[in-house]
Amino acid sequence: MPREASANRRQDIVAAAIEVFAEIGYYRATTAQVAERAAISQPYVYRFFTKESLLVEALAVSWKRIVQAFRQVIDSAPPQELEEGLIRAYEEIMLAHRSEILLQMQAQTISDAPVRAAMQQGMGEVKELVENAFIHAGFQDAEVRVSNFLARGMLCNAAMAMDMPSIMPKR
């Protein structure tokens, strides 16, 4: 199989896993369900992934999306619009990629070392990116603002997951 086709199939498998894991939970989901969603055979899933490595890859995809969106805002927004731009970017991700956010929420409770490492790496990269942007923008108490920003995001996640817009932070 040509490399490009193989890479596309890997992406299809990861996309299917994100949906399946988000819908029924990582522990209840099977690679057979992921394979069915991706319209491939289960052995083909195992050609590329174990169940755990599939979760780790799915998390990497979700964190990469957030980092890319935040970098775009950081590169284009004036300092006075930075925080609002980051909030809007995250809200757009929540709407367009809800399953990725639900997946991250579930992964927060998984203590397996590779999963924990993927979550720590992703959250750490986001924290560092936002903190550096806030410092560069001249924000007072940048560390506190970053902490509040991340906490706001987690509250937004909970509001989305529980379908409770009334607990969404106000701007």
pLDDT digits 0-9 by tens, 46-100 = 999 999 999 999 999 999 999 999 999 999 999 999 999 999 999 999 999 999 9
* pLDDT for the residue 2: 61
* pTM of structure: 0.93
pLDDT above 70: percentage of residues in the chain: 96
Q: Which domains does the chain possess?
A: 51-167 (1.10.357.10)
Measured CA to CA, the distance from residue 111 to residue 130 in angstroms comes to 26
